[in-house]
Amino acid sequence: MEEIFYFMERIGGKEMTGTYEHSIDAAGRLIVPSKLRDKLGAAFYLAVGVKENLTLYPMEAWDKLRARVSELSTTDAAAMDLFFASAQLCEVDKQWRFQIPSYLKDYAKIDKDVVVTGNNDRAQIWSAENWKAKTRQQLNPETIANLMKNLGI
């Protein structure tokens, strides 16, 4: 398990940043990267992501998401049925490991090697192959310049 790089220091709050390479063990468990532990907490939700990845939601972020969905009309909230049905409450063991169910590994095309990334108030889990493809596609000066421009930076 090797830490690739740490984008920025923690600036208070629950911001999660950084990129961490890890492996899922034979029992299907993943260890929470040490630099994300205090921000993620010992209990959190694991759910499908929007890009063939998984998302780890600290309780505070999960509660905000739930509250937002509860404000939707019944019809609009129904679109979230499969999202909530696939979500799982995770509690870490003494080594900070948690189980990833096979249906979630299948969704994210995860086999053994993964990349855990910080993403603002949550973390994401990517198959190493999907993360490598994403960085090849998006980590270039033109894309970063356009992102900054769109943010007014």
Number of domains forming the structure of the chain: 1
Statement: residue 5 has pLDDT above 70: no
In a domain, 153, yes or no: no
Contact 16, 119 (CB under 8 A): yes
pLDDT of residue 150: 86
Domain of 53 in residue numbering reads as 3-128
pLDDT of residue 6: 32
Statement: residue 85 has pLDDT above 90: yes
d(Cα 102, Cα 145) in Å, to the nearest integer? 38
Q: CB-hemisphere CA count at 13 Å for 64?
A: 6
In a domain, 145, yes or no: no
User: In whole numbers, what is the pLDDT of the chain averaged over residues?
Assistant: 88
CATH number at residue 27: 3.40.1550.20
In a domain, 81, yes or no: yes
- pLDDT tier for residue 3 given thresholds of 50, 70 and 90: very low
- pLDDT tier for residue 139 given thresholds of 50, 70 and 90: confident
pTM for the model: 0.84
Query: Strands (DSSP E) along the chain, which ranges?
Result: 3-5, 19-23, 29-31, 43-48, 54-58, 88-91, 97-99, 113-119, 122-127
pLDDT of residue 122: 95
Q: How many CB atoms lie under 10 A from the CB of residue 46?
A: 21
d(Cα 63, Cα 73) in Å, to the nearest integer? 18
